[in-house]
Amino acid sequence: MDLMASMKVATAGLRAQSGRMRVIAENLANSNSTASEPGGDPYRRRIPTFTQEVNRELGVKTVASGRIKLDQSEFNKRYEPGHPAADEQGYVKMPNVNSLVEGMDMREAQRSYQANLNVISATRRMLARTLEILRV
């Protein structure tokens, strides 16, 4: 694989991880968002997915952001009888977002993003070094 192809693969990884971090940030931002009416459903956690794409120009496979799926796990319930979204028993459905899981997913996405950035930096250094050698 030539150096430009490795940069394109890493760039695709950067875009995919950036989209993943955006979805995770949205989940964290809505971790306390309840329904507006009694008994209604609150915010449902989103799960980013990835797809594989083939770059025919370079003949390499890259990653891309796929569809965003909804987490079908049960909502948490909290007893708050005075809350506007409380049901007849006084329970409020809370989002199915676990901030610990989201934090770990965010950390993993950041590390993957950084790894792709390191590939681009190393490739740029190799290209610069190659040009230096050719000038001599």
Residue 123 placed within a domain: yes
Residue 83 placed within a domain: no
Residue 124 placed within a domain: yes
* b/e map 75-104, b = 16+ CB within 10 Å: beeeeeeeeebbeeeebbbbbbbbeeebee
CB under 8 Å to 38, separation ≥6 — which residues?
A: 84, 85, 86, 87, 88
Residue 46 placed within a domain: yes
Q: Does residue 50 surpass a pLDDT of 80?
A: yes
Residue 92 placed within a domain: no
Closest CA to 109 of 16, 2, 46, 9: 16
Domain that holds residue 50: 3-34+42-71+97-135
Residue 118 placed within a domain: yes
The pLDDT value recorded for residue 63 is: 93
Residue 77 placed within a domain: no
Identify whether the C-beta of residue 122 lies closer than 8 Å to the C-beta of residue 9: no
Q: Does residue 133 surpass a pLDDT of 60?
A: yes
Confidence of residue 2 (pLDDT cuts 50, 70, 90): confident
Residue 81 placed within a domain: no
β 60-70/46-55 pair status? antiparallel
Number of domains in the chain: 1
Mean pLDDT of the 88-112 span: 95
Give this prediction's pTM.
0.86
The pLDDT value recorded for residue 1 is: 54
